[in-house]
Chains A and B, each alone.
Chain A
Amino acid sequence: MPGHPDVLIVASPRDELACQLHEAVSRRGRRCTLLDGPSAARLFTIRVGEGGAHVSPDIPLFIRASAWPRQEGASEDERFLRREAYATFWAAAALCKSPVINRPAGRSSMARLTISAIASRMGLRPGDKHSELYVSKPAMALGRLDPPIWGEDIDFRTSEISALRPDVPARLRTVDVDARYEIVSIVGTRAFAATDDPRTRRGGLPARSRKMAAHFGLHFASVTWMVNADTATPLRVSGEPSMAELRTCRDAVLEGLCEDLCP
C-alpha cells in the first residue's frame, strides 16, 4: 500500500521489545514504522455501512500497552482527545483484516491475568489454596490466608507481606515455597519454555500454554506456571510479555513475530 508501512508497531519508542522487533522486520526488507498510540490512531479511517466495516490502511499491527502511557497531570481536554484516539485505534485494530498481534476484540485489552482470574475465566475452581485476596491494606489478609503470604501492591511492588507498605492496597496469596516456576512464551502455534526441566515436557506445559493463550484470544503471550511434584498451576497469563520473561527465547520470539506479521 503506497505511503503506508508494511508493518506498523504501536508502542513507546522506549519499549525494548518493540524496538527490537522494528529492527528485525526492517532487516527483512519490510517498511516498518513505530508510532505511539495517538499518532497511530490518526492514521486510520474506519467506515461502517451495510457492506460491513472497512479499515484503511489495512496493515499488519504489533501493539504494546506502552503505546498508551499514563497521562499524569493531563487536562480534561487532553484526556478526552486521548480517549477519542484510543477508541479509534481499538476499532481499527479489532476490525482490520491484516494480522494484528495482539488483536483487541470486544474488550479493549487483556494485558495480564493472575491465578484467580485465570481460573474464573477458564471455568476452573482452584479452591482456597490458589485463591487471591484483594485488600485495602496487607493487614486485612492476616488470619484469612495461610502463611507464607506474598503480594503485589498497586504500584506493582512484589514482596512478602511484612515488606509491603502497610497502608497501600494489595493483591495477596499464599505461596508454595517448594514450587518451582516455568515461563512458556507463545507466538501463534509456537511455544518456548524458559527451562529444559523435564517436568515442563511431562506436564505438557507448552501445549497447555498454547491452549490457554488461544482461549484468551492472545497470539503473543507468556504463561507463568507454578510446578509442584505432581501438578502445574497457571499463575499468570500476560499479553504483554516483558523482555525479562523472554530472555531465554528472545530471538525465536522475534523470528516468530516477524513470520506472522510479514507472511
Chain B
Amino acid sequence: MIYALGLMSDGTFARFTEQAATRGIDVVVVDLRDALDGEWVFPVGCGGAAQLHLPERSLDLQPDGGFFCRIINLASTESDPQRARRWQALLAGLFAWINDIPGRVINRREAGDHNASKPLHEALLLQHGFSVPESVTTCDLTEITAFLREGRTVSKTVCGVRADTMEVTDADFAGFEPAAGPVHLQRLIEGTDARIHVIDNEVIAQRVAASDIDYRAVEAYDGLTTFDPDPAIADRTVCTSKAMGLVFAGWDFKIDAAGRYWCLEVNPMPGYGVYDRRCGGAISAALLRTLGAVSC
C-alpha cells in the first residue's frame, strides 16, 4: 500500500495525490490536520502498524508500505499553545515511527537537514565533488564589503527559508548593523538555471530559458524544457542523494557559458509540482514507481 502524509493545502502534496488518482493508483491520503484533530498511536521499536483515528475514519499505517511524506510543522501558526504542543507531539511520534519502519519512505526525517544551514550545506556539496559558488556568511561589515568588491553577488537566507534570491551591492548594506545579520552572500553565476530531480536511480532534468537571477521569483516556469544533463553530473546527483539518505531530491544548478555546472543546493523536500506539470507528470510517475506502484 502507498500512503501520502501531508497537508491537502500544500500544492505539491495535492499534485502527488491527484497524479496518483489520475493513474488509477490507490493511495491512502492522510491530511495531518485531520490527524491532529483525532487520536494516534505510533509503536516504535516493535515493527507494529501505526493507528490513526481521524474525525471521519480510522486506519492503520502498515510499516512495510510506501510513504510519500511532505510533513510540515504548523505548530508556529497555532495561536492555542495546547494545539501547538499537540503538533509537536504528533510529529515526534510520526517521525520516530517513520524512522523505525522497514518500508520505503520519501523522505525520512533528517535526510538533507543541512539544507537549513546554507554554509554547511554548500561545504558538504563541495566535499561531494560539486562546483559551488563561493560564499560568505557573516555579520561583519568589513567581510561583507570585501566580498562584494570581489565580484557580482547575490543574497540568500542562511536558514533556507524560501525567499527570493537578489543581487546586492554596497548600497544595500549602507547602515548595516550586525544585529540585523548574519547574512549569506554568494557569488553570482551567470548562466542557465537547471533543476534535476532524482527519484531513486532516475534523473529528470529540466532547464529554464530565463535571464532572471531567480526564475522562481518571476514564475518563469513556462520556459522549462527537459534535457539530458552531463552524465557525470547526473551520476553524482544520484550517488550524493543516496549518500545523504534522500530517495527524492531536487537539485538546483546554474550552467555557465563554458558548460560548467554550479550546484546551488539540493532540496530534501522539493516542491516539484510546477516541474511535473511541464514534463507530463513524469516526476509523480517515478515517485509512485519508487513507492511500489507497478503500473506507472
Contacts and interface: CB of A to CB of B under 8 A. Distances in A.
Contacts of A117: 44, 96, 99-100
B41 A144 contact: yes
Contacts of B11: none
A178 interface: no
Interface residues of A, number: 54
A170 B42 CA distance: 11
A45 interface: yes
Contacts of B47: 125
Interface residues of B, number: 57
A153 B43 CA distance: 16
Given A95-B123, A107-B110, A45 B39 contact: no
Contacts, number: 174
A120 to B, nearest CB: 4
A13 interface: no
A46 B44 contact: no
B86 interface: yes
Nearest to B138: A45
Contacts of B213: none
A15 to B, nearest CB: 23
B38 interface: yes
A136 B76 CA distance: 19
Interface in A43-62: 44-50, 52-53
Interface string B69-101: 000000010000000011011101110110110
B126 A53 contact: yes
B93 A85 contact: no
A37 interface: no
Interface in A124-173: 125-128, 130-137, 140-141, 144, 154-155, 169-171
Given A48-B119, A108-B117, A91 B137 contact: yes
A134 B93 contact: yes
A90 B116 CA distance: 9
Nearest to A141: B41
B181 to A, nearest CB: 7
Contact of A137 (B39, B139, B244): B39
15 contacts: A42-B139, A45-B136, A53-B119, A53-B123, A84-B181, A86-B159, A87-B117, A88-B182, A90-B120, A91-B123, A116-B96, A125-B45, A134-B97, A169-B86, A170-B89
Interface of A: 41-42, 44-50, 52-53, 79-81, 83-88, 90-92, 94-95, 106-108, 115-117, 119-121, 125-128, 130-137, 140-141, 144, 154-155, 169-171
